[in-house]
Amino acid sequence: MKKKLKKKNLIILIIIGILLIGGITTTAIFLAKDNSSSETSKNKDKGKDKDKDVPEVEIVDLDSTSRPYAVMINNIGAARPYHTGLQDAYLVYEIVVEGGITRYLALFKDKQNETVGNVRSARHYYLDYVLENDAYYVHWGWSLQAESDISSLKINNLNGLTYGSPYFFRKNISGISTEHKAFTNLKELSSLVDKLGYRKETNKDLLLNYSATSVILPEEEQLNATNVDLKYSGSSITNYVYDSEAKVYKQFVNDKAHTDYETKNQYTVKNIITYQVGNKTIAGDEKGRQDLDNIGSGKGYFITEGRAIPITWEKKSRSAQTIYRYQDGTEITVNDGNTWIHIVPKSGSISIS
């Protein structure tokens, strides 16, 4: 009887052993498969990053966390022939200032241009677009309200009145006033940022969505857009003519080609966003400086590759990013290339044909 029990116990132990070994083996196989699947997924992602056949956006590094420089550009007639470096800006705003003229706010990211300009003084409503891009504000002088707002809004600014060479300099150009000879050196500004202890990284998304392949606009809403005229005032009109071969817009100001002083090349633009807002002269301002009704929402146009489409814009606060949407409510995507945002006065006009 004892022998039978021993034999029976031995059989039970063998069965338990087999079950244990089987369980361990199954678990090991399962884990191996799981790990293999995980690695394959990761490798696929890495492969996508390294796939040379997949086009990448070139106008700006989508993975870069460095903050851009927002440079205030003088656009009075006497200064315009000396504009330098604007083709390298990935984003430019044009907004009206006193006297019916305009100034540009040109944004540069990860650029080392040694000459950008002409640099001009700050105006308070441009700060709204510095903030929405988490940029350093590069300017030469300021209005009283801009000075006050820069302080209260804690804008990281780089002022040519405070910091001279090598960060800012005046070119030896004859025949124009001193204030039109001001330029900045982006390569040197990086060391000034270090010196001032400004934050160098940003966690803010780029203002716009970019596509490395040609954007397809909703067919039923498209307008022909080979000629675009944006009238800020009687003396300040930005014109565009579409170059179908190069798939960019050639830029003109008052029907005269807008060219770079150093390269002699005409400026070209890939994407145009334009809309109208109200503006008014600040009460008691002797120089007629303006205020802008730019917080809110409205309608405008997105123009690219010879076509235009109606869009909406919305800016909820001074620091909030402006959101541009198609008529169906989805955010617009722009083509790979530079973008100019033209904020035109309601007293002006937008003509697309």
- Write out pLDDT tens, residues 84-121: 999 999 999 999 999 999 999 999 999 999 999 999 99
Question: What is the extent of the structural domain holding 132?
Answer: 69-196
Question: Which residues are CB-contacts of 138 (< 8 A; sequence separation ≥ 6)?
Answer: 69, 70, 71, 72, 119, 157, 158, 184, 189
The residue from 133, 165, 196 where one domain ends is 196
143 domain residue, yes or no: yes
Separation between Cα atoms, residue 138 and residue 124, nearest integer Å: 13
Q: What is the mean pLDDT of residues 334-346?
A: 98
Using CA atoms, how far residue 87 sits from 24, 59, 254, 269, in Å, is: 65, 11, 19, 8
The overall average pLDDT reported for the chain is 88
Is the domain of 178 the same as that of 250? no
Q: What is the CATH number of the domain that holds 227?
A: 3.50.90.10
φ/ψ of residue 236, rounded to 5: -140, 100
Positive or negative CA dihedral for 299, 301, 67, 57? positive
Residue 223's pLDDT is 95
Share above pLDDT 70 across residues of the chain, in percent, rounded to a whole number: 85
Separation between Cα atoms, residue 184 and residue 75, nearest integer Å: 15
Is the domain of 150 the same as that of 248? no
pLDDT of residue 57 exceeding 90, the answer is yes
Is the domain of 160 the same as that of 226? no
36 domain residue, yes or no: no
Q: What is the mean pLDDT of residues 236-256?
A: 98
67 contacts 199 by C-beta, under 8 angstroms: yes
- Quote the tokens at residue 271: 């994407």
Q: What's the number of domains the chain is made of? A: 2
Is the domain of 157 the same as that of 232? no
Separation between Cα atoms, residue 7 and residue 273, nearest integer Å: 88
* Closest residue by Cα to residue 262 from 75, 111, 82: 82
The DSSP call for residue 282 is P
φ/ψ of residue 46, rounded to 5: -65, -40
